[in-house]
Amino acid sequence: MAGVAEATGASPSTAAWHHVNLPRDGNCTFRADRSYLQGACVVGAIERQLGVLASRAPDDAGLKALKYAVHLVRDAHQPLHTGFAEDSGGASTSFTPSGEARACTPPGTRP
């Protein structure tokens, strides 16, 4: 069920739903009132999907919202899905077997 985002394919309109970027202000505290979020993050996406589930949406829309909600809650618990904008949700960092972090080229880009 949680694989709905992968099954439906990546979409520019939902790409930001899978992570949340925090500012580098030294405290890494999530605050929903920060203007940089504007709901275009995993937290806002979960809230929207739960809203669909609470509504009288058609069954197919409710099923899709349920699948997204499960997938997004799973994403929110991934350590690198909460971070800073420049780390691309963890996609621009790789780790060696010794545990050393190295910058890498994010998927879909060229060096």
Task: Give domain status of residue 75, yes or no.
Answer: yes
Write the CB contacts of 47 (distance below 8 Å, at least 6 apart in sequence).
39
Which range marks the domain in which residue 70 is found?
Answer: 14-25+32-103
Q: How confident is the model at residue 109 (pLDDT cuts 50, 70, 90)?
A: very low
Task: Give domain status of residue 19, yes or no.
Answer: yes
Task: Give domain status of residue 111, yes or no.
Answer: no
Task: Give domain status of residue 65, yes or no.
Answer: yes
Task: Give domain status of residue 72, yes or no.
Answer: yes
pLDDT tens-place string over residues 39-95? 678 888 898 999 999 999 999 999 999 999 999 999 888 777 777 777 766 666 666
pLDDT at position 85: 72
pLDDT at position 18: 79
Domains identified in the chain, total number: 1
Instruction: Please name the residue ranges forming H helices in 1-111.
Output: 4-8, 42-54, 59-76
Q: Which of 106, 66, 108, 63 lies closest to 87 in space, CA to CA? A: 106
Task: Give domain status of residue 8, yes or no.
Answer: no
For the entire predicted model, the pTM comes to 0.68
Task: Give domain status of residue 85, yes or no.
Answer: yes
pLDDT at position 57: 96
Q: How crowded is residue 108: how many other Cβ atoms within 10 Å of its Cβ?
A: 8
Distance, in Å, from the CA atom of 89 to the CA atom of 12, rounded to the nearest integer, reads: 15
Q: Parallel, antiparallel, or unpaired: how do β-strands 82-83 and 20-21 relate?
A: parallel
